[in-house]
Structure 1
């Protein structure tokens, strides 16, 4: 007696959302805190740049907190809310 295997599931049902995998956080609160931290770092960096050009280095941790640019952060917020 032979049995047939069920048909494979559609590819989109098994593949994870690439936006959620890259940019989403575990909770909305965590995501908002990362966004606030990035915003504070960016504002301080630009505010102090005229007096202390090295303050622009604060933009690096801001980009790390946002996991990219502010648009990337916003996409991640949408993916986090969708979860």
Structure 2
């Protein structure tokens, strides 16, 4: 989420992706019991790794971009009325 501090967002990502990677890496060692980490990773990422990356971009933009997710499709765009380039048009 854009209102979330960057540090907290990065910790959620590290926990989430670490747990997902651990779940896959532990399967050869301890079998399907290693997959117990997968739900932990998904909860940390709030269910959607791609949306986590979108929220990271939104957090880094500090409100210059906003995320919309509809029907499982997420996209970034500039808020209504905001200039995407940050430049003002010159005269003439």
Instruction: Give the shorter-chain TM-score range.
Output: 0.5 to 0.7
Query: Which of 27, 45, 59 is equivalent to 1:66?
Result: 45
Kindly report structure 1 stretches of 4+ aligned residues shifted beyond 4 Å: none
Q: Which protein has the larger Cα radius of gyration, Structure 1 or Structure 2?
A: 1
Q: Is the 1:24–1:31 Cα contact (8 Å) retained in structure 2?
A: no
2:55 is equivalent to residue 76 of structure 1:
yes
Q: How does 1:1-40 map to 2 (within 5 A)?
A: 23-24=1-2, 26-40=4-18
Specify the SS of the correspondent of 1:52.
helix
Q: Which has the higher helix share?
A: 1
Structure 2 runs not aligned, ≥5 long: 63-92
TM normalised by structure 2 equals 0.58
How many residues of Structure 1 are paired with residues of Structure 2 in the alignment? 61
The Cα of 1:57 is off from its aligned counterpart by 1.7
Structure 1 runs not aligned, ≥5 long: 1-22
Q: Which has the higher strand share?
A: 2
TM normalised by structure 1 equals 0.63
